Each structure stands twice: as structure tokens, then as C-alpha cells.
Amino acid sequence: MTRVLISADMEGATGTVSPADVAAGTPRYERFRRLLTQDVNAAVAGFADAGAEEIVVNDAHCGMDNVLIEELDPRAVLIVGRHKPLGMMEGLEDGIDAVAFVGYHTGAGEQGVLAHTYLSHSILGVRIDGEPVGEGGFNALVAAEAGVPVVLVTGDDLTCREAAGYAPGCRTVAVKRAISRHAAVCRTPAVTAADIRREAAAALSAPPPRPTPRATAHVVEVDVDSPHLADRASALSGVELSGPRTVRMDTPDTVTALRRFRALSWVIGGGREGDWT
């Protein structure tokens, strides 16, 4: 029995380029959540073509309730909603054979459409053991600790390039070519769906080797854009200031690193100043 987890973010979906495209409550968002669902469906179809018997889609963007379940391929089940222990990687449990990142984007401080790491503001960069990571790189480490390879990544061209670094051998589909943070050359949904389906099938037919599952201790460092946010974050147990705008924490394993980083992002996000001059 082959089981696949699809972690579905939104900034890297077909056609999205602006914050309004991915922010619930805007008319544009209602269009783009449909396109996100189409990208997800294409991946589901491709994995099913290659023999996947169970496909779990984890909605991983913002409120984590973006994919339209009424339009989702019925061969998948949908994890929807917030406060999941593993967040973007919820569903990574025993028996998952492969992970796909659909609609992903580059990390904070990088070029690329709507690049960020968790917060759209305040976080300037994240390093694990000295290496810069975005959401894809972080989540790939979580998958690797469980012995599961990342087999497919979709997003803009720079997201695909980033994926080649953290998940060598995975298949990628660039649904758009980044021009700036808020502009891209976008391919149309019918074209990207065909590519995603084909690459998903190929990815599961010849996946990269499984990583050896083992708990790995990490040093996580986070750069923020204002000293008061670092001060605030350092109130959390185990989080230390390591510079005026940088905090660090030592974590015993990658799941703990992810859970503590998420809490850190909430504390940082809650301290953002309003506009003043």
C-alpha cells in the first residue's frame, strides 16, 4: 500500500502573485483558492496514476482551510483547520511513503513570488545548523527525520531551484517564473495541471531514496527586523538572544524544532508595531 502526503501551500499556486490573491476575505482569494485546488487535484491524479492507494492532503496555508473540499478529487482526504501538532506537516505519520509540497514558495529574505517563512513580515531569515532554510527546507528535514522523501515540489521557478538543494532528486514543476515579489510569468491552469500530474506520477514511480529515520538535534536561528521582537521572542524558555535582532534555540530533534519555531513565530508576530513616523 502506497501512501502519499501532499502539503498544500498557496503562494506558489498557479497564477498567484499578490498578497490579495492569498488573503482570505478578498474577492481575488476566492478565485485563487479554486486554482490551488486544481493544482492539488493534478498532484492527486498523478499519484493515483502511479498506484498511490491513500492520498492525504494537508491544507497548509494561513488558516489552513483554503482547498475547496467540494472540488477535491475524491481519491484524497483533506486535513483542514488549525492547531495541528505538526502544522504544515500534519499527516506525516507511520506508513507515509512520500511527501509532496504543492504551491510552495521561497524563504524569507530570498527572491521569489511572495517569499517568506511563516510570517509575511518581521522574520528576515531562518537558519538550521547554520544553513538558511525556508518552509520547504524546514519541512523536508521533518520528513527526513521520519524516513520519508520529498518527491515533488511545485511553485515558482526559484522555489524549484531551492527544492533542488534540500530535496535532491525530487521532481519539480515551475507553474510560474518570478519577475519580482509581486509579479511572474504565469502558465495557465490547464498547462500546469498536465505538468503536475505527469511529474507526480513520475515522482512516485521512481522516488528518491528513503532517508534513514533518526532524531537529529539542531540549532535554530531566527533573524527579525527589530530588536524588540528578538527581546520578546527571548522570553520563551530555551530561546536566547544571540544578536540585537537574532535569537537561537537548541532543539533535540526536528519535530521539536518545528513546534518551537511555530510558537516563536506566533510570539514574534504578536509583537509587530503599527505604522508611525
Residues that bind Zn ion (CB under 5 A): 9, 135
Q: Nearer Cβ to Zn ion, position 22 or 45?
A: 22
Q: What are phi and psi of 111, to 5 degrees?
A: -70, 165
Q: What are phi and psi of 18, to 5 degrees?
A: -120, 155
Instruction: Dump the DSSP string for 144-198.
Output: HHTT--EEEEEEEHHHHHHHHHHSTT-EEEEEEEEEETTEEEEPPHHHHHHHHHH
Q: Nearer Cβ to Zn ion, position 22 or 52?
A: 22
Closest chain position to Zn ion (CB):
9
Q: Nearer Cβ to Zn ion, position 8 or 220?
A: 8
Contact assessment for residue 159 and residue 136, using Cβ atoms and an 8 Å cutoff? yes
CB 129 → Zn ion: shortest distance, Å?
Answer: 21
CB 232 → Zn ion: shortest distance, Å?
Answer: 22
Q: How far is CA 95 from CA 3, 54, 241, in A?
A: 7, 10, 39
CB 165 → Zn ion: shortest distance, Å?
Answer: 17
CB 244 → Zn ion: shortest distance, Å?
Answer: 27
**Residue written as cell 513546534?**
259
Q: Nearer Cβ to Zn ion, position 115 or 255?
A: 115
